[in-house]
Structure formats: C-alpha cells, structure tokens
Chain A
Amino acid sequence: MEKRIAIIGYAQSRHQYDVQKTREDLVFDVAKEALANAGILREELGTVVTASTDFLDGRTISNVFLSMAVGAFLKDESKVEEDGAAALQYAMMKLMTGTYDVALVEAHTVGWQFNPHQVAAYTLDPLVDRQIGLLNDIAASAIQANMYMNKYGVSVEDLAAVSVKNLGNAANNEFAARRLPDVSVGEVLKSKLYYDPLRELMISQTADGCAVVIIASEDKVRKLGVECPVWIEGVGCCQEAYLRDRDLVSLSGLKSAAQSAYQMAGITNPFTDLDLAEVTERFAHEELLICEALGLAREGRAKELVNNGVTALGGDLPVNASGGALGADPICATGLVRVVECVRQIRGEAGTHQVPGVKRALAHGQFGLCAQKNTVLILGGE
C-alpha cells in the first residue's frame, strides 16, 4: 500500500436486544467514547463515513438525523449502505487519497425496531422470489446448510459445535448479547427449530448495537504520537451474483476478497500468518464455509477445526474469540464490531477473552443473503 492507514481509536456499545437508549443516544455515546479512546477532539476529524440501511433503521435516509450525534457537523460525511467493514474500507480509500487524514467510521443497527429477517426478505428479487414469497435469509441459509452438509457429510452436531464454541466465547465478552457459558450440543439441538437444520441457537442474535472506529494516515499517527496503532495491512471486498446464479456451497466472493487482502498484506499461508480471526457468521454453518473460503481449511474439512479445538479460544487460530455474530448481531455494525474485537486483541485490551500474543488478525464482514457481499481486512500491530 502506498499510504499506510492505522486504527487509532475504537468503541462499541453493549449489544443487546432492546437497549434502553434512543438511536441517537446510542450513536452519540459510542462516538464520544471512540474519540476519547483515540485521544482526539471532534475538530480534528476530516471525514465521517457511516453504515446503516433505510429498511433496517425504519427511516428513509437513515443517516440524516444522526450527522450531529456522530460528530459530522460541518464535516465531510457519507453513508455506505452496507456492513460497517465496507464503510471502513471506503473511509480508508478516502484517507489514501490524502484529502483527509483522520476519519471516523460508524455503523449501527437497532434490530429491535423491525425484524431484520423480514428486511432480508425485502432484499429478494421482487419479480421472482418475493412473488413466490417463501424465502428469507434464514430459509436461504438453511438450504445452503443442507447443501453443504449433504455434499461433505457434515452432521448437524458439527454445526451445533460451532454454536457451542461461539456462545461460550460470548459469555466471556461483556459486550455480547447472548452469553451462554455452559451450553451443550444437546441444548443447541433442542432449541426452537426455524428452518431445518437451523435452530434458534444457530441463528445470530439480533441486537441493538453500534461500533465506531477512528482511523488516521501514517503521518497523522506519528504526529499524534499514538502508542499502539493497529495498521490495516490488507483489504479486499467482493460481491457475488444473486442467489439463483451462484454456487451456494463455496463462497467464491469471499475467496476472491480474501485473496486480494492476503496479497496486499503479503500473506501466503493464512493459517500460520494469522493469529486470530473474527468473522461474521450469521448462522452456525457459515463459520465453516467462511473458514474454508479464507483458506484456513480444505473444502468440507472446516468441521475438524471446530471439533479439534483449533479455532477455540485456546487453539492455534482462535476464530470468533468474542463470540461472533452468534453472540451479538447488530446487523450493519457486526463487521465493524469484528474489527473492534481484532483491535482489542492486538492491543491486548480484550480482557477476559484476550488471546495471548496476537500480532496479526483478520476481520471479516458480510452483507446480503448467504454472505453475498464480503469484506476482509487484515490488521496488524507495530
């Protein structure tokens, strides 16, 4: 990369379903905290990029009343209607042009306002799938899960093991919404069945939440004398074709996104080069698919990672040490929360779920049905 960009400050809200705060307060508090964390004043910001969507927020132009809360008064401002990780990528591009040197990236969703699975149904092809009226994101992912399980002989217990791992990890994370320390495979398989094989505990926990990350260009980082900047070493993003015309079992879009991110960061063997991965798994089986697409396991073999504890908190390559999206899923913010969690780990500020000696981590954000759009970021300490 010509111009290096670093994360200098972060904050996230305590995610929970129905947080007792207005949307404006939620965003304001987190933005304020992130600015304090970065040790800068609002006046020093150059540009602000937010991520939220109109359908989820229940307002056309969802960012319009939040500019003031997020600190964008008379600042360059833009909104990405995507996952927060994509917003971070866009803000990064803005800094890379040298037009601005500090950017604030904010992402939020108040999942309580309206069922996000209904919103997912609104994203379907209005001429075909919305007319047939069967699908939503859970249904589509359930079909994906079935296809994957049939193709590679993965059992439903393997999926439940992912939930057990992530929900257990979430118990250590004070910011997570669904914290189940001692949940067992049996309990996961007894939870309410939505679309076979996806049960309540295999579906991400919708939450109200907000995450803010402050990034700065290298010159500014030096000027500010930031103690532990976390550098964005690589970034990649890719969109796949619509549900009907893509291979659901392999996330080719994520593969391509990961490839460009690895290339940029100079990673040849992700399994050894990375110390930690935080991925957005809206459903238990997605974590397996994602691990394969990221090149951490061969196709169909990701279940071994979970079953052998490789991706567990104390494993070789912990995946979702924070509990991931199964722990808390504030839709648009989820990708940015992954970034925040990586930064916490690299800076050694993760508290009870700290993984020792994290130097390089991968954050992944996704949006759309069955992970249609993916963003991969490689973060590294100094």
Chain B
Amino acid sequence: MSIAAPPLLVLLLALVAAWLCLGLAGLIRPHHVGFVARVLFPLGALVSLGVAWTAWGALQPGQSPETLVLPLGLPELPFHLRLDALSAFFVLLVGLAGAGISTFAGGYFRAGQGTAPGLLCLQYHVFLASMLLVVLADDAYLFMVAWETMALSSYFLVTAQHRIPDIRRAGFLYLLIAHVGAIAILLCFGVLQGGSWQFTFQGMRGGALRPAWGSVAFLLGLVGFGAKAGLVPLHVWLPEAHPAAPSPVSALMSGLMLKTAVYGFLRVSFDFLNGGPWWWGGLALGLGLFTALFGAVFAAVQTDMKRLLAYSSIENVGLIFSGLGLALLFRAFGLQLFAALALSAALIHCLNHALFKSLLFLATGSVLHATGERNLGKLGGLIRRMPWVAALALVGTLAIAGLPPLNGFVSEWLLLQAFLDTPHIPKAFLNMLVPLGAAALALTVALAAYVMVKFYGVIFLGQPREASLTHAHDPGWLERVGLGWLAAGCVLLGAFPGLALAASGAVTGPLLGAAVRAGPSVWLIAPVAAERASYSGVLVLAGILAVVGVTFVLVRRLYHGRVRRTAPWDCGDPWQTARMQDTAEGFGQPVRHIFGPFFRMERQLPSPWDSAPRYRIHVEDRLWRALYLPIGRGVERLAEAVAVVQGGRLAIYLLYGFLTLIGLLVFVL
C-alpha cells in the first residue's frame, strides 16, 4: 500500500484513461472516418509515446516498485496495481510498438462494410488499455478482468469483417481457446495462493507452496499462457485469427498480445514460483524449440501472406519460450548469471519481435489495401509500384530473418551465447542434450531466413503475377510514418543492443539477482566477458556501409557507370511470362520434401493427357485431426447421451421425480 500517490503509476493510469476516452470519443461520430481515423488514432499514438516514455523512466536504475490500490473490484479484493521493472519492460514494449501501429492505423482504417470506424476505434483502444492493465495488475481478479477484456476486445476486432464466414469461424476458435486458457490461468492462481486465500499477487509471492503444488501451478500456467502465446499444440487459433483481423489489429495481436502471455508466464514461473526443479526448464525449452521449428516449417509452405506471418509469430514465440526455458534450467542449478543471459535474450527478442512483426503485418496491410490481394500467388513486383513500403518492409524482413546488423540478430546471438553455457550444467545427460537445442535453434533461424526470402521475394520482387497489380501505389504519409517508426526501431536496436540490454538488465536484476553487463561501451556489448564474446552492431553496420561506399566510389572512379537497359536475358529464352516465376507453392516444395512428416498433404496431380492440367496441393496441420476433432466428437457424444434425459414423456419425467424422492428418503434414513 502506498501512502503518497506513486507518480509513474498514476501517470500510466491517466494515459490508460486517455486511451479509453479516445475510444469513447469514437462513438460521437462513429461513421465519420476523417474524424475517427485522422484525429483519434494519431492522438492515441501520442498517448503511446507517453506510455513508452513513462516506462523508460520506470526502468531506470534505482527505481523501486510502485503500488496502488483502487477502490474498485470486489469488496474483499479491490484492484491492486503494481509497476515494477518486469511490468515496465512490457509497458515499454506496448508503448513503442503501439505508437507506430496507431499512427499507421490512422491512415489505414476507412469506411467499409463491417464494424463502423468509431466502434473499431473504441475496441482498438480498449484492447490497448487492457493490455496495459494486464501488465500492471497486481491481483488475480484485476488480472483476469483485464486478460479477458483483452481477449474480448481483440475478438471483436478480429471479427470486424463478420460477413465473411471464415472470419467468423476464426473468431470463434480464437475466443474459445482463449477462454479455455483463461480457465487454466484461473486454476493456476487458485493453486498459487497456497492456502493464504490472498488473491493479491503479493500474497502469492509470499505463498510457500509444496513442490508438487508448485509444479501443478507451473503446468497450469504453461497451458494457460501457452494457449495465448500459441505454443504447440495450443496454436491452432493463431494462424486463423491473426490473418482474419485488420492489419493494424494483426500487428497488435502478434506484436503485443502474445507478449502479454510471455509476461504472465514470467510472472508466474519466476516471480511467484521463484524458479523450480530443472524439468520445468527442460519442458519449456523443449516445447519452445519444437514450437519454433514447427512455426518456421509451416510458415515456409503458406500461400497467404498474413498466414505466413502468423506462423512466423508462432516460431518467434517458440524462440522466446526456449529462452525462458533455458533461463529456468540455469536457475534450477543456481547459474544465475547464465540464467540472466538467457532471460535477457528472451526479453530482448520480445521487444524485437514486437517491432519487426508489427512492421511486416502493417506492410501486408498496405499491400492489401493497394492490391486487395492476400494470396501470394497473385502478387509480385510491388517494389516498383510501392517503393516506400518495399524499402521499409525490407528492413523488417532482414531483421526477422535474424541477419546482422539488425535487431533480430542480436537476440538470436544472445540466445546462442546462452546455449554455449549449457555445459556448465552439472547433470550428465542434460549438458549433452541441450547443445542439440542450439542445433535446432540454428536450423529454425536459417529456416526463418528462407521463409522471409520467400515472403519478400514473392510479394515485392519479380514480375507482377496479375495485371491488376499495376494500379498499386504507396500508402499515405500516416502509414509511411508508422512503418518508418518501427523500421527505425529495428535499425536502432540492432545498432545499439546495449540499450535493450540495459532495459532487460533492470528486469533480470530483481528477478534473478544477476544481470548481464550492458556492454563495456555504447558501441560494444560483451554480456559475459570481453574475451568470451563481444558484438557491436553499429560497427558491423558501419563496416558494411563503408566497404560498399568505398567499392562503389572506386568502381565508378576507375571504370564507368554506363548502363544499358534491355529485356532480361534469361538464358536467351524470350518466351517466358510472369506466370513462369516460382510460385509460393514452389518455394514451399523443398520444405514439404524435407519435413514431410509434419504435414498432412492432399495432392491433385494432373494426368498426362489433361488438356488443361492443374496442380493443386493442400497442406494442413496433423494436430488438428489428431487432437481437436476427437475432443469435439467426444463432447458431441456426451451431449447426445444427455439428451436422452429430455425424452418428452411426462410419465418418465414423473418417474425421475419419484425416484429422486425415494432415493433421497433412503439416503436420509
């Protein structure tokens, strides 16, 4: 309980209130796009900037956690709020990415069928606000309220275009799994309070749980938050829901909402349970790696650009969870510094993913608006029509592919560094097994590069596969600013990873009692030790630029810059059309070939005598048939069995009453 009002927390609450007011303002003139989109959303972006700034303040060294109790909620359990380093980090994430997304959204939303812009504005800002409250909540009730409000508002945003049946189906699946996850989380809290019956998080922190119950709570948390984060096998909703939503919403969901799940998992496993037996880490690590590989493999065979990105989100979530698992593992053996390294890797990857995944989703949004096409098979050559989007999307592509000197590489570098320390684990077969994790990680990262080349190459490069694409054009300035903001973030965090390390250090310090150094200087990071490993994004960037520049100048000086524009040579074969380019399916082929067991494939092969031969392949997830359909059928059967009770015959009904009476009388005697 705080006597004097905690400044930063109050400021954050004020900003949340501002968001809600903006949302409600949308209802004033729900159908007036100019007002809603061009005024309210940019204002929301400004608020996000304020949020980010406040969070940065809260991450400064020497900041002690701030708490606050609001006279709302249940009589016995008013709303508790708390702003510590961990929550501040995720607030920062929401603020940074939110600013860019809101700016973009200002240009993106327009009147159309489906939900009115004003209502969308309300749902959008409620979504943002609830995410912030999830992170700030300090008691189970407020957390659950914020958590489900988040699910609900995002559900309405997903189903904005509810006239399309697929979108309705996606929304239903999403909310259903979200709800099941929420139930698991509720149970998790129920176990966590450990007899204190304090449903404040403070009480849970103190709660001394018996190991068995601790493990139960951990597993429940893993299920509950894993369902939201999209861990295999609870991932099925993600590739349906994220593409269905309007692009800014997809960006919010992929970039930010998944991170709230990571936050929840961190809270439970590190803050409340304060680490545990080594198999927790092993489990999280294994699940994470499998999810990552799974996501990358499936992303490689997608033919819808937003589905591809959604699967890539699954992959990144997998990477994050493997980092968390590694941290738990180290912590179980008291290797705090290495745990801090792994945890920092995971946290920084959260931040990076928030930036570049939002960037890419927004880029697909612009493409969607410019072409009305989501199918990779009908895109291509847009770099010449939409140079801005193409250029900014290239940054995102390179970043998510984990290439130096951009930010994606930094977190993967840190994660690999953490894997290098696994031989320190004093457990024979573990320290032999875990390096294989590094191998899986490497494979995933390389696959991600493959996927992103496919993504960028098929959409922006090559020749347009449809005539209509020639009308495509760059979006307005608001969109460009939004994209530019996020791209700049990718470059900046890539060049100066020290900043991100400082922020994550502020988190790992309180959680683990250890933090990796934010590098000897701004220019260089050496998380463990200088002679062990060091990396400098800015130097690499400068190096490449320098060499490129020097080469360019030399070539021009010594020789000439003459260029002749001709038709493509293409092995001297002039009869090639745009349709002969590799399609998205074609790009998937090697992966389908190598990772066959992952898929359930239905091929339609043309016969040699077919006059108009066509080749169709349908790839789907084995888990859907293996896991979800059986559950559904089981419930159906039970329902049928139950329906017998209501047979329609009065005599039978009377008999029920009669038997109940007799039974109870016997019971009483």
Instruction: Please determine whether chains A and B interact with each other in the same assembly.
Output: no
